Amino acid sequence: MKKHITLLALFFASIAGVNAQGIMGGHVTGNIQLDGQISRSDSIIGAQDVPEMLLLNSRADILYTNGNFSAGMRFEAYQNPMLGFNIKYKGAGVANYFAAYNGEKLSVTAGNFYEQFGSGMILRAYEDRYLGLDNSLLGLNVTLRPFDGVTIKALAGKQRYYWEYGDGLVRGIDGEVNFNSIIKSMSDSKLRLTMGAGFVSKYQDDQTIVYPYNPAYKLNLPLNVGAGAVRADLSYGNWGLQAEYAHKGQDPSIMNDYIYREGNALMINATYSQKGLSANIQAKYVDNISFKSVRSESGEMLYINYIPAITKQHTYAFLSMYPYATQTTGEMGLQGDVMYKIKKETLLGGKYGTDIHLNASVITSLDSKRIGGAGTLGYETNGFNPGELYYADASLEVAKKLSSKYKLTCTYGYQIFNPIVEGHPGDLHHNHVVVGDLTWKINKKNVLRFEAEWMGSDSKYSSDVDDKRCGDWIMGLVEYNFTSAWFVSVSDQYAYKDGIGNYYNLSVGYTHGATRFQLGYGKQREGLLCIGGVCRQVPASNGLTFSLTTSF
């Protein structure tokens, strides 16, 4: 890392030097973020003991752009990492650097880069700063756009692993064609069609994994593992259809207990939409598709591909208390959404109209039969037959502007959650959630928001499982905004039956342009938090938290 820093310093010093003299022109932009917490341990909400008292994550992205040329670097410091971040992040230094040329027909990036093929089923190098995820590739990424409507990408690199890089080498190529651009007669057609295909190969040196049925033998591991995918995006007028299929060769790894079964994944999405009415339905089938660049890595890093949950991302606290996470070893599911706007000046629409949003999803395991452990094909599946229920939900949201001052949103949600998706078998949880959310615009500068939530659940807290979300809950939140600059919010979540916990929180924030400072005190659950006009993921904490972000 030290060597890198010196090289980078020289590089940037020279750019900055020349820049200051106005020879090259160009711009320096960037963003800085500081997050800290001063925590007290609390076994009741699961906040751990923090011997160092103050935990601090910070990062700065600096980007230099001059015409089609850009170069950037990122400084990161975790002293020490905040709760929820892997302790391997401990330390400080330059985590990321690159130089790039972005022309009309050619883009080249050398250094750390992010990339995605299709929806990411075989390759997605991405980051999520709030979850501590970064699987950027260090290497070379080339994109060619030889003519309008054709994109070809080729890349090779190693994946970031905290402050190091994983051993596995990732290589990939992807092509995409937009038929409306390349076929002249289709350019104004109602029929829109884009198709693509990609291939990714990873290489990792051999290692010794003992064959469990006869310890005298070791597994004959594939050093190169390939994965390919094809996709299409078709639309005609109000109708749309997107589909992607991926296949992966034999890839024994710790994620699938070193079995030799090949992997498959299929995602299909159909939509209908017109102004004021839309619907979509999405189906997903995933079988042994975990794809990592290092076969012995079981944590959150070194994923080459990305298989998202298709369930709706809820934003209200109780609706998102039991989030569903994709089971890359195998699952299948359906998700549907309907949005409808009741027109203005009708009986139900009133003066401003009413928005209705329905959603439902169901996810199950695959109906499979085990045929062996490590070194075998592992299991057989029974076609598209569903197995055990993993997750199901349904929700109805009605949003209505009552007058120029009041806006009300009411939501009802029902969920069935199988704790096995988080690794511990147990009874299914059945939860009912009701949310009321009222915004009161007192005048141009003063806005109040009230939120009340209730969750009734058949789950009960027990110290064996120690799941702090069990039981029945109520919540209240009041948020006051003075222009877009200041906000204060007070909230409390309380387990009133069969559960434990009382999460009270006081937050204040100040925003000026692209700079924002926020200070919080109290107990906080991990998850998506939307207060003071922005949304972000937050870790579990108990005590004082502060956050500063700025872009320039």
**Among 222, 219, 220, 223, residue whose Cα is nearest residue 204:** 223
Interacting span for other proteins (CB under 8 A) from 47-55, 203-211, 333-341, 428-436: 333-341
Beta pairing, strands 164-178 & 150-161: antiparallel
Q: How far is 233 from 262, CA to CA, in rounded Å?
A: 26
Closer CB to other proteins, 257 or 337, in the complex: 337
- Out of 434, 528, 544, 546, point to the residue binding other proteins (CB under 8 A): 528
End-to-end CA distance of the chain: 27
Rule CB under 8 A: which of 459-478 touch other proteins? none
Interaction of residue 86 with other proteins, rule CB under 8 A? no
Q: How far is 513 from 516, CA to CA, in rounded Å?
A: 8
- Out of 384, 496, 504, 552, point to the residue binding other proteins (CB under 8 A): 552
- Out of 58, 80, 235, 354, point to the residue binding other proteins (CB under 8 A): 235
- Out of 308, 419, 426, 527, point to the residue binding other proteins (CB under 8 A): 308
Rule CB under 8 A: which of 371-430 touch other proteins? none
**Per-residue contact string for residues 114-153; x = within reach of other proteins by CB under 8 A:** xxx--xxx--x-x--x-------------x-----x-x--
For residues 505 and 531, the answer to whether their CB atoms sit within 8 Å is: no
Helices of type H across 64-187: 179-182
Residue 471 Rama label (left phi>0; alpha psi -120 to 50; beta): left
Neighbouring CB atoms inside 10 A of 496's CB total 11
Q: How far is 364 from 382, CA to CA, in rounded Å?
A: 13
Classified as helix, coil or strand, 18 is: helix
- Within 8 A by CB and 6+ apart from 523, the residues are 42, 45, 47, 501, 502, 503, 504, 505, 541, 542
Rule CB under 8 A: which of 154-213 touch other proteins? 176, 178, 180-181, 192, 194
**Per-residue contact string for residues 16-55; x = within reach of other proteins by CB under 8 A:** xx-xx-x--x-xxxxx-x----------------------
Closer CB to other proteins, 468 or 516, in the complex: 516
Burial 336-357 (b: 16+ CB within 10 A, else e): bbbbebbeeeeeeebeebbbbb
- Within 8 A by CB and 6+ apart from 133, the residues are 126, 127, 300, 301
**Per-residue contact string for residues 339-368; x = within reach of other proteins by CB under 8 A:** xxx-------------x-x-----------
- Out of 280, 412, 419, 450, point to the residue binding other proteins (CB under 8 A): 280
Closer CB to other proteins, 116 or 201, in the complex: 116
Closer CB to other proteins, 70 or 381, in the complex: 70
Q: How far is 491 from 134, CA to CA, in rounded Å?
A: 32
- Within 8 A by CB and 6+ apart from 362, the residues are 333, 334, 389, 391, 392
Interacting span for other proteins (CB under 8 A) from 203-211, 232-240, 377-385, 462-470: 232-240
- Out of 187, 313, 346, 385, point to the residue binding other proteins (CB under 8 A): 313
Q: How far is 451 from 103, CA to CA, in rounded Å?
A: 48
Interaction of residue 65 with other proteins, rule CB under 8 A? yes
Rule CB under 8 A: which of 442-461 touch other proteins? 443-445, 447
Closer CB to other proteins, 461 or 546, in the complex: 546
Give the shortest CB-81-to-other proteins separation in angstroms: 19
Interaction of residue 9 with other proteins, rule CB under 8 A? yes
Neighbouring CB atoms inside 10 A of 319's CB total 24
Interaction of residue 63 with other proteins, rule CB under 8 A? yes
Interaction of residue 6 with other proteins, rule CB under 8 A? yes
Interaction of residue 79 with other proteins, rule CB under 8 A? no
Closer CB to other proteins, 80 or 278, in the complex: 278
Interacting span for other proteins (CB under 8 A) from 204-212, 256-264, 494-502, 524-532: 524-532
Closer CB to other proteins, 260 or 322, in the complex: 322
Rule CB under 8 A: which of 482-501 touch other proteins? 483-484, 487
For residues 413 and 393, the answer to whether their CB atoms sit within 8 Å is: yes
Give the shortest CB-386-to-other proteins separation in angstroms: 21
For residues 519 and 487, the answer to whether their CB atoms sit within 8 Å is: no
Question: Alpha carbon 241 to chain centroid distance?
Answer: 23
For residues 268 and 335, the answer to whether their CB atoms sit within 8 Å is: no
Closer CB to other proteins, 439 or 542, in the complex: 439
- Write out the DSSP string of 73-103: EEEEEESSPPTTS-GGG-EEEEEEEEEEEE-
Closer CB to other proteins, 309 or 362, in the complex: 309
Size of the site for other proteins (CB under 8 A): 106
- Out of 183, 223, 506, 534, point to the residue binding other proteins (CB under 8 A): 534
Max CA-CA distance within the chain? 79
Closer CB to other proteins, 275 or 369, in the complex: 275
- Out of 86, 201, 273, 354, point to the residue binding other proteins (CB under 8 A): 273
Interaction of residue 99 with other proteins, rule CB under 8 A? no
Give the shortest CB-283-to-other proteins separation in angstroms: 11
Interaction of residue 275 with other proteins, rule CB under 8 A? yes
Cα–Cα separations (whole angstroms), residue 486 to 283, 381, 442, 509, 528: 43, 56, 15, 6, 21
